[in-house]
Every structure is written in structure tokens, then in C-alpha cells.
Amino acid sequence: MAKGLILAIDAMGGDAAPEVTVAGAELFLAARPDASVRLHGDETQLKPLLSKSSDRIEIVHTDLYVTSDMKPSQALRRGKGSSMWNAIHDVKDGAAHASVSAGNTGALMAISMLVLRKMDGVHRPAMTAAWPTLRGRSVVLDVGANLEADAAQLVTFAIMGEAYARAILGIEKPTIGILNIGSEEMKGHDEIREAHEWLRNSGLDLAYHGFIEGDDISSGTVDVIVTDGFTGNVALKTGEGVARMLGMRVREALTGGILSKIGALLAMAGLKHLREQMNPSNVNGGVLLGLGGVSVKSHGGTDSRGFARACELAADLAASHFRDEVAANLEKIRQKGMAAE
């Protein structure tokens, strides 16, 4: 296989795998001549899907895969040797710089934590999501890995999210906010208020904004939104639902009559731009931050373009220094007695 950045791909994970994962991998390689991929899965299914042979694509055969209905505990017991397990193990073994899977989210988190382990100072990894805003994109974490988070964990999320936003969004000094039910300092439960005090007085070189509310997320008030996984996941799914509803309502309004259709034709360029902005494929890919390696979760129902975007995200993150930045700041808060236990 050619030298350069290498991704390990769980080719059997996802609603439309392996067709979408193979096509997405090829789209990724077309845009990244410096990269190569290791496709983990059933060779008899994968090989016919390749549009052409390439020395930048290696198929690593296994006929085992993690099903969508498999519980995390089952995946840990029965997933060894599966396409998901082997892709993640590539990162641990140094055969790849990052792994990508569109498979079972719970299984991916469990196997990633077992194989890659946690970084020193990280009590629980956090799942990120990129959120479209009026200013561009923001990073939200956690969006489902942890239902609850204490103050120390929220501080850790802030440190990881800040380094991640710098690496992926290219923002030199990302601003950070804690999601709360109000911007006043007396609002919220004890853990949120304690994390707020820690970040405000930490002495770390962080651009901490303070509390933000739900409507600040889409406004782009800050670059990094910190919350627990329960709240973050509810907010994420609510946002996705509203976006789908708006898309349907706009389509209905523009096809409701002859005048509406004429107006739609006249506004075609603007509508295409709007559709591009709302296309979930453009922001596909969540990352488990806080692990000893890069593990990216693609949406299970994504198309090939979206899967390619998740691969791009994994490649960009693997090429960055974000883990070194996280480790340095975690050590600083450990010395101040703020680290999660």
C-alpha cells in the first residue's frame, strides 16, 4: 500500500453498507491523493464494488460484522474479529492513523474505549457533532456518549472541544460556552455552575464565554457548546427534525401552484445554496474525543458523499496536534486539582 495517511474503514457498518462505504471511500481517495484506506469486511462483497483497482485500497477480509441491533455488551463479547473491531484495532496497532465506521453507535463506543483506551485525565470520552449556524459551524459535545456529566467532566469536555474546533474548523481561538437554561449565573444545577466557575478561574488560555441558551446554538454565539450527553442528544435530534420540517414546508410552498413553481425557477440558484447548507452529508461525522486514537462515527443512514466527509474529518483530525493540546491542558487542570476522577 502507498505511503501517507492511512484510514481503517469498517466497510460493513451502516444502513446501506457495503455499497455506500466503498463508494464513499473512493470519493475520499479521489480528493486526497496523499491518503490510502484499509477496507475491513467480506472480500467477496467488497471487491466487485470497487470501480477500479488501486494500490491505495487494501481489502482486509473478515466475514464477521457488528449488527445494528447488537447491544454494546454483546459487541464486546462477540465482536472480536469483526470489521468494526479490526478497523479500530488498526489504529491501536499503528496500521492506520484513524478509523471510520457507520455502524452501531453503542458498539462503536464500547469497542473504541476497550481497544484504544482513554487519555490520561479523561474519565469518559465525549461524542461530538458539527452544528450548522448563522456564522458557519459550531462543535457540540457531548451528544450521547454520557447521559450525565459532573463538573470535572464538563471542564474536560470544554478542553477537548476547544482543541477539536481549532483542528477541524481552523479557528485559532475557539470560544466556549456551557449550555444552560439561562445566561444568569444563578441558573442551572450545581454541576453546571461549578464547571462555570472552574473554567472562569482556571487560568488556562481558553476563550470562555460563559453560559449560553438553546437559541444560541444555531446563532453561532460560541464555537464550542458544552453539555451532558442527554441534553446534547435531545438538542441534536430536535435540530435535525426542525431542519427536515422546514425543508418539507419550503418544498410544499414552492410546488403548490403555477406561480409558486415559476418563483422557484427564478430563485433556483438561491434554493440550491440553501439545500447545500442544509445537506446533512456536509457535516457528517462524530468523533469520540478523549481516546488514545481517532475513532470517527459516520451517520448510519448517510450516502456516499456523507461517508466521504466522515473520512475527510478522520484524516484532518489524524493529521492535527489536537490530542497533544488536550493532554497539555488536562495536565494543567490535574495540577490544579480539577481533573475528573
Grid coordinates of 84: 468494526
Please report the pLDDT score of residue 332 as a whole number: 78
C-beta separation of 149 from 142 below 8 A: yes
- Give the side-chain half-sphere CA count within 13 A for 54: 19
Grid cell in block for residue 7: 484510514
pTM of the model: 0.81
- State the pLDDT at residue 45: 96
Helix (H) or strand (E) holding 245: helix 229-254
- Topology given in CATH for the domain delimited by 124-282: Isopropylmalate Dehydrogenase (3.40.718)
Check the CA dihedral 58-64-70-76 and report its sign. negative
Phi and psi torsions of 32, nearest 5°: -130, 85
Instruction: Report pLDDT for 261.
Output: 67
Structural domain boundaries in the chain: 1-122+290-321, 124-282
What is the CATH number that goes with domain 1-122+290-321? Answer: 3.40.718.10
Q: Which residues of 285-312 are buried (b: 16+ CB within 10 A; e: fewer)?
A: bbbbbbbbbbbbbbbbebbbbbbbbbbb
| Per-residue model confidence as pLDDT tens for the chain (341 residues) | 556 899 999 999 999 999 999 999 999 999 999 999 999 999 999 999 998 878 899 999 999 999 988 998 999 998 899 999 999 999 999 999 999 999 998 899 899 999 999 888 888 889 888 888 888 889 999 888 888 889 989 999 999 999 999 988 888 899 999 999 888 877 888 899 999 998 988 778 889 999 999 889 888 999 999 999 899 889 888 887 877 787 777 777 777 777 666 765 666 666 565 555 555 545 567 888 889 999 999 988 889 999 999 999 999 999 888 888 888 888 877 776 665 55
What region, left, alpha or beta, does residue 8 occupy, with left being phi > 0 and alpha being psi -120 to 50 degrees? beta
